[in-house]
């Protein structure tokens, strides 16, 4: 682009430097030729009227004519002998030029030889003297004009100066423009490299409103989309693993408790095995939901039905009891009046399970966990209380954030990823409910969850 731009400028400068000069030189030549030709023809006509063609009669006739600005006048007879000569000025033609012109005229031709040399216009004109169709002599006139030449020369040098200035300006301007564009394109390339290497938050600083800025804006919004997609992907992967973790942990707990208890009676063992079956079904439902999610790429609503809170709490407690017993923690549930929620049973189960599991995981040996459900106006309240280690006030506002863990070492030991509470909060909000966490005066935590009651309508 830069090369094409410079080439166009150079062609324009070339035309600008030659065309006006050629044109004005031609105009000066023409006007000089006309002026000198008319003088030659005036002399030739005057001499053609002479009775005798001698030096005296010619001098006489010439003295009567009003001739101006000529550097040389030569008049010859039919054989080329010079009968009259007048010389004015120091710039004179070469002898050979004079001879050439005179010979031409003696052969009956008008000869014109204009020349521009070293800034001076030289004009040679010769013409035959022909009273009757026969050549009796020749007139040769010569003029050297320095003034017009000087004007032409100054025009030429002015044009050259302008050209140099224009070339320099064009060169600087194009170098500046190309440097600016190249630098900004380099920024865009750098941004593309950054985003390609996974730095999705990288943005181009956009200034102005030209095409390169538009490119920057487009790139930024593309990167924004990529970042969002990446975030959704990560979130999906972590949520999916968490959802799979809950039933898997339950299956492990149940099978462990069967294995570690050699005197287990047949009924209890059957109950545990049926719970393992129920958890496997939950696992199958979860994987099915995840598969549908990947296919549709958006939220899949699980099937909703009237879910009884006390039934959900009972089944979660059955699964968690072995975990609580292993740590000598008492697990109790007080059901003060049942209520139903219009929801997906697995999701309500996840809420209860996560809260109760936390209450056991972050408890002390010999501690207790109490669950309580009751109606509260149009809401159903579930409270999960523990006598555990509690959460410091400074951490309390953050516990519902994704991946937030208060005591990282302990949480990691307990197999925690810091996702449980954020999933619980999202689910509760999805059903138009609310959740709060507070420290208990006697130590430990209390989590309260409220869901709108479904009363069959």
Ligand X SMILES: Nc1ncnc2c1ncn2[C@@H]1O[C@H](COP(=O)(O)OP(=O)(O)OP(=O)(O)O)[C@@H](O)[C@H]1O
CA 93-59-31 angle, to 5 degrees, is 45
Q: Is 399 one of the binding residues for ligand X (CB under 6 A)?
A: yes
Task: Between 145 and 347, name the residue whose CB sits nearer to ligand X.
Answer: 347
The binding track of 435-454 with respect to ligand X, each residue x by CB under 6 A or -, is: ----------x---------
405 binds, among ligand X, Mg ion, none (CB under 5 to 8 A by kind): ligand X
Q: Is 77 one of the binding residues for ligand X (CB under 6 A)?
A: no
Q: Is 247 one of the binding residues for ligand X (CB under 6 A)?
A: no
419 binds, among ligand X, Mg ion, none (CB under 5 to 8 A by kind): ligand X
Q: Is 252 one of the binding residues for ligand X (CB under 6 A)?
A: no
Of 197, 194, 189, residue with least CA distance to 215: 189
Binding piece for ligand X, criterion CB under 6 A, among 123-131, 196-204, 227-235, 387-395 = 387-395
Measured from the CB of residue 181, what is the shortest distance to ligand X in angstroms? 51
Measured from the CB of residue 408, what is the shortest distance to Mg ion in angstroms? 13
Residues that bind Mg ion (CB under 5 A): 358, 420
Binding piece for ligand X, criterion CB under 6 A, among 261-269, 289-297, 398-406, 427-435 = 398-406
Measured from the CB of residue 382, what is the shortest distance to ligand X in angstroms? 14
Measured from the CB of residue 370, what is the shortest distance to ligand X in angstroms? 12
Cβ atoms of residues 150 and 156 within 8 Å: no
Cβ atoms of residues 383 and 446 within 8 Å: yes
- How far is Cα 20 from Cα 40, in angstroms, rounded to an integer? 30
Binding piece for ligand X, criterion CB under 6 A, among 203-211, 284-292, 296-304, 397-405 = 397-405
Q: Is 367 one of the binding residues for ligand X (CB under 6 A)?
A: no
20 binds, among ligand X, Mg ion, none (CB under 5 to 8 A by kind): none
Q: Is 383 one of the binding residues for ligand X (CB under 6 A)?
A: no
Measured from the CB of residue 445, what is the shortest distance to ligand X in angstroms? 4
Task: Between 216 and 444, name the residue whose CB sits nearer to ligand X.
Answer: 444
Task: Between 33 and 426, name the residue whose CB sits nearer to ligand X.
Answer: 426
Cβ atoms of residues 248 and 282 within 8 Å: no
CA separation, residue 297 to residues 232, 234, 419 (Å): 10, 13, 21
Give the one residue of 282, 418, 450, 454 binding ligand X; rule: CB under 6 A: 418
The binding track of 194-213 with respect to ligand X, each residue x by CB under 6 A or -, is: --------------------
- How far is Cα 273 from Cα 254, in angstroms, rounded to an integer? 8
- How far is Cα 415 from Cα 250, in angstroms, rounded to an integer? 13
- How far is Cα 191 from Cα 199, in angstroms, rounded to an integer? 9
Task: Between 76 and 422, name the residue whose CB sits nearer to ligand X.
Answer: 422
Measured from the CB of residue 285, what is the shortest distance to Mg ion in angstroms? 21
Among all residues, whose Cβ is closest to Mg ion? 420
Cβ atoms of residues 386 and 368 within 8 Å: yes
Task: Between 159 and 249, name the residue whose CB sits nearer to ligand X.
Answer: 249
Give the one residue of 74, 420, 433, 450 binding ligand X; rule: CB under 6 A: 420
123 binds, among Mg ion, ligand X, none (CB under 5 to 8 A by kind): none
Give the one residue of 242, 318, 439, 448 binding ligand X; rule: CB under 6 A: 242
The binding track of 80-119 with respect to ligand X, each residue x by CB under 6 A or -, is: ----------------------------------------
Cβ atoms of residues 47 and 57 within 8 Å: no
Q: Is 47 one of the binding residues for ligand X (CB under 6 A)?
A: no
Per CB under 6 A, residues contacting ligand X are 242, 354, 358-359, 362, 386, 388-391, 399, 404-407, 411, 416-422, 445
């Amino acid at each position: 682009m830069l090369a094409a731009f410079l080439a166009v400028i150079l062609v324009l400068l070339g035309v600008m430097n030659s065309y006006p000069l050629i044109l004005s030189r031609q105009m000066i030549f023409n006007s000089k030729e006309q002026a000198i030709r008319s003088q030659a023809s005036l002399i030739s006509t005057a001499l053609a009227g002479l009775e005798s063609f001698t030096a005296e009669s010619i001098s006489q006739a010439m003295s009567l004519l009003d001739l101006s600005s000529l550097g040389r006048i030569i008049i010859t007879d039919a054989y080329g002998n010079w009968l009259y000569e007048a010389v004015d000025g120091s710039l004179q033609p070469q002898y050979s030029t004079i001879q050439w012109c005179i010979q031409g005229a003696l052969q009956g031709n008008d000869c014109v030889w204009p020349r521009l040399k070293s800034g001076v216009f030289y004009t040679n004109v010769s013409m035959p003297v022909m009273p009757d169709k026969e050549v009796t002599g020749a007139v040769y006139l010569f003029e050297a004009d320095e003034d017009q030449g000087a004007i032409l020369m100054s025009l030429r040098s002015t044009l050259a100066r302008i050209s140099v200035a224009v070339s320099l300006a064009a060169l600087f301007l194009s170098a500046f423009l190309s440097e600016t564009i190249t630098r900004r394109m380099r920024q865009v390339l750098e941004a593309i490299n950054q985003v390609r290497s996974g730095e999705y938050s990288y943005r181009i600083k956009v200034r102005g409103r030209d095409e390169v800025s538009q490119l920057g804006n487009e790139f930024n919004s593309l990167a924004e989309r990529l970042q969002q997609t990446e975030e959704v992907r990560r979130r999906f992967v972590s949520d999916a693993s968490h959802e799979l973790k809950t039933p898997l942990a339950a299956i492990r707990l149940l099978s462990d408790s069967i294995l570690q208890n050699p005197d287990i009676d047949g009924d209890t063992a059957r109950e545990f095995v049926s719970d393992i079956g129920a958890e496997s079904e939950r696992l199958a439902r979860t994987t099915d939901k995840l598969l549908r999610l990947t296919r549709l790429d958006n939220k899949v609503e699980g099937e909703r039905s009237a879910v009884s809170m006390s039934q959900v709490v009972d089944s979660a407690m059955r699964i968690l009891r072995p975990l609580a017993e292993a740590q000598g923690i008492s697990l109790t549930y007080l059901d003060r009046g049942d209520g139903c929620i219009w929801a997906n049973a697995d999701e309500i189960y996840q809420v209860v399970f996560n809260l109760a599991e936390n209450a056991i995981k972050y408890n002390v040996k010999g501690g207790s966990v109490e669950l309580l459900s009751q109606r509260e106006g149009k809401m159903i309240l579930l409270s999960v209380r523990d006598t555990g280690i509690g959460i410091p006030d400074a951490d309390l506002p953050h516990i519902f954030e994704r991946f937030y863990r208060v005591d990282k070492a302990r949480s990691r030991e307990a197999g925690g990823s810091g996702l449980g509470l954020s999933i619980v909060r999202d689910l509760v909000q999805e059903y138009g409910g609310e959740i709060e966490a507070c420290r208990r005066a006697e130590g430990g935590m209390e989590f309260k969850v409220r869901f709108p009651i479904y009363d069959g309508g």
